Amino acid sequence: MPASHVEEPALLRPNRPAKPTPRPERIPKSTTSACVTQPTAPKSQPVAAKKISRGAGSDIHRLIGPFLIEKKLGVGGMGIVYKANYTKNGAEVAVKVLPLVLSANKKLVDRFNREMAILKKLKHPRIVQFYGGGEQDGQHFYAMEFIDGGTLAELLQEKGRLPWQQVIEFGVQIAEALEHAHDHGIVHRDLKPANLFLGQDGKLRLGDFGIARDSDATALTAAGSTVGTQAYMAPEQITGKQLISNKTDLYALGCVMFEMLTGRVPFKGAASMEVLLKHINEAPAKIRTEVMDCPVFLEQVVLQLLEKSPDKRPHDALMVQIALEEVIERVAAKTSTMTQMTAGAGQTAIDMSQLSDPAQLKKLLGKKKKKRKATGPIWERGWFLASCLAVMLGGVAWSLMPPSEEKLFAHALPLMQTDDPVKWQEANDRYLKSLLERFPNGQHADEARDLIDKLEMHRTERGIETRLRLGQDPKHEAERLFLQARELERFGDYLSAREQYRALIDLLKDREQDRSYRNLAKQQLAVLENAGDGNVDRKQIVNDALKNAREQFLGGKTHAAEETWRSIIKLYDGKAEFAEEVTEARAGRAGRLNE
């Protein structure tokens, strides 16, 4: 069977910062799109493109598509990764192959194809670059960037742990990759050191999207299933009680950063279940008890990423980048201030770690005492420095005081007045929740609740739209009733829609968990009441719809007619005054228009 290849011509220009590194030649359209960032030699010679006989039980030296397999790089649950040579110009690539024994499993093939579709979406310097893929003799494969710097897991195995400055650099790079993926609706779900690859530039690339979830595609993982690597799994990934979201990846990022700083994962156990239960129930250890030089600001960021509740983690990967960059700035500012205030009267600082002789130490201390008696400028006097230190500490204490209710509301309001739901979420996470927790009966408490209601209504509407798009049933009775009222409204029966919304508001008045549906119903009811049309005959609306459906059917627009009949049966079945209309709709669906 001939090879079938997916062409990705645009991806032949690697999406990396421009460097004078030679690039392999562009692949002709008649072959699989494949390319590398760093060819083995500036002028690699093409490899003879003849099919090489396959050794027993081995893919080495086998030709798959235009790629000659050279050596195995690794094995995962979703395939084998090989280093390969592009036969047209000798460029090095990595080729992932789904073994033939797995190709008979349609679900695994779908997942493999999903991984290709995800990688095709993602074009970013911090994500492994995809070049194209295809199928040959029933075996599926795709080519991607070959990165020969090893993985973060291998680096940690070699070094034990990393300096905090490098952890921040790597953390920002990972967050950049996650931000790009999340912006495209992709949740990785398996972020770990083994899936972070080191390039020759010393920077990380995120790879292996084998179990990633694409919000725009049909789910391949059953609801309630647990996927991921146990040492890096978020509580909601384990329990299934909350939806997997971008914040699931942020928890895994916290696990990875904890490991980079300490040399170990946050939770260990003799058995898998023990580790999973610790993720759900136990707080991680304080990093600074093991790593004394870790800045307290960095520890705070990592521990926030490891919060059990997704709502308590940073809002998104961009906020993580900002927080990590602020750590460097705050450490630099603190170091600069303390250095100036403790440097002394222009004397060279003594490195106490280099002194071991007590006599020598006393001698040096004696000299220092004598020198303190000398006069000098006022800014070099001890009392002046002590005063400055007190002022600085007072300023720090003042800056650390929690903001007032007025300030919290003033920060939140401009964000909520935009049309950007991302900013609404930021206002909620950073200001509104804190305002209501600290000032539940404050001057702005009611306004804060209204603003949070606005965000929750938006979330609810997005959830409804997603379920409708995927053809899913309403998740509970409140949603079913709301959808029924909205369908009446769209059908044009505004009188029935108003009645349904009023009934919904009354039914849910004491159900706080359904507050967003109650508020949506109030909002739609207000719109309908302002629009008028209160005297429209409901039977006339239905009969006009039936007449229109008959004309559509006879005119060949069967799908539109079918939708109208379906809506009439769904909305009016069981209502005595509409029995004739429902009967006619059923006859229409059955193809008996003359009855």
**Residue 5 pLDDT:** 52
Q: Which residues contact 25 (CB under 8 A, 6 or more apart)?
A: 88, 89, 91
Residue scoring higher pLDDT (199 or 570): 199
Lowest-pLDDT range of 297-311, 388-402, 425-439: 388-402
- The single-letter code of the amino acid at 112 is F
Confidence of residue 1 (pLDDT cuts 50, 70, 90): very low
**Residue 207 pLDDT:** 87
Q: Check: CB of residue 488 under 8 Å from CB of residue 571.
A: yes
**Residue 379 pLDDT:** 53
Per the DSSP assignment, residues forming a β-bridge with 75 are 80
DSSP 429: I
Final residue of a structural domain among 328, 343, 373: 328
pLDDT in tens, 247-285: 999 999 999 999 999 999 999 988 888 899 999 999 999
451/583 same-domain check: no
Kindly tell me if the per-residue pLDDT of 336 is higher than 50: yes
- What stretches of 122-159 show up as alpha helix (H) in DSSP? 152-159
Note whether residue 585 is domain-resident.
yes
Note whether residue 398 is domain-resident.
no
89/200 same-domain check: no
Query: How many domains does the structure of the chain reveal?
Result: 4
Kindly tell me if the per-residue pLDDT of 219 is higher than 50: no
Note whether residue 434 is domain-resident.
yes
Burial class (CB in 10 A: 0-12, 13-18, 19+), 249: buried
98/67 same-domain check: yes
Note whether residue 266 is domain-resident.
yes
The CATH number of the domain holding residue 252 is 1.10.510.10
Final residue of a structural domain among 118, 144, 170: 144
**Residue 73 pLDDT:** 86
**Residue 308 pLDDT:** 93
550/527 same-domain check: no
Kindly tell me if the per-residue pLDDT of 156 is higher than 90: yes
Cα–Cα separations (whole angstroms), residue 151 to 70, 201, 419: 20, 13, 41
First to last CA, the chain: 56
Final residue of a structural domain among 278, 306, 328: 328
DSSP 512: G
3-state secondary structure 529-592: HHHCCCCCCHHHHHHHHHHHHHHHHHCCCHHHHHHHHHHHHHHHCCCHHHHHHHHHHHHHHCCC
Lowest-pLDDT range of 273-277, 350-354, 402-406: 350-354
**Residue 576 pLDDT:** 77
**Residue 348 pLDDT:** 38
**Residue 587 pLDDT:** 84
Query: What is the chain's mean pLDDT, rounded?
Result: 76
Burial class (CB in 10 A: 0-12, 13-18, 19+), 68: buried
- Spatial separation of the C-alpha atoms in residues 390 and 382, rounded to whole Å: 12
Burial class (CB in 10 A: 0-12, 13-18, 19+), 492: middle
**Residue 359 pLDDT:** 52
- Spatial separation of the C-alpha atoms in residues 66 and 28, rounded to whole Å: 11
**Residue 47 pLDDT:** 41
pLDDT in tens, 104-115: 788 888 888 888
Kindly tell me if the per-residue pLDDT of 171 is higher than 90: yes
- Spatial separation of the C-alpha atoms in residues 169 and 261, rounded to whole Å: 12
Note whether residue 183 is domain-resident.
yes
The CATH number of the domain holding residue 109 is 3.30.200.20
73/209 same-domain check: no
95/28 same-domain check: yes
**Residue 384 pLDDT:** 65
162/308 same-domain check: yes
pLDDT in tens, 531-556: 655 555 667 777 878 888 888 888 88
Residue scoring higher pLDDT (107 or 166): 166
Does an H or E element contain 356, and which?
none
Lowest-pLDDT range of 50-59, 137-146, 246-255, 404-413: 50-59
Note whether residue 370 is domain-resident.
no
Confidence of residue 46 (pLDDT cuts 50, 70, 90): very low
59/82 same-domain check: yes
- Spatial separation of the C-alpha atoms in residues 199 and 149, rounded to whole Å: 5
Note whether residue 563 is domain-resident.
yes
Does an H or E element contain 180, and which?
helix 164-183
Q: Check: CB of residue 174 under 8 Å from CB of residue 206.
A: yes
CA dihedral of 578, 582, 584, 588, whole degrees rounded to 10: 150
Q: Which domain holds residue 83?
A: 4-144
Kindly tell me if the per-residue pLDDT of 76 is higher than 90: no
231/103 same-domain check: no
**Residue 139 pLDDT:** 84
512/568 same-domain check: no
Burial class (CB in 10 A: 0-12, 13-18, 19+), 313: buried
**Residue 394 pLDDT:** 63
Which whole number is the average pLDDT over 374-382?
Answer: 56
Tell me which range, 14-18, 376-380, 527-531, is most confidently predicted by mean pLDDT: 527-531
Note whether residue 384 is domain-resident.
no
Per the DSSP assignment, residues forming a β-bridge with 481 are none
324/415 same-domain check: no
497/555 same-domain check: no
Kindly tell me if the per-residue pLDDT of 513 is higher than 60: yes
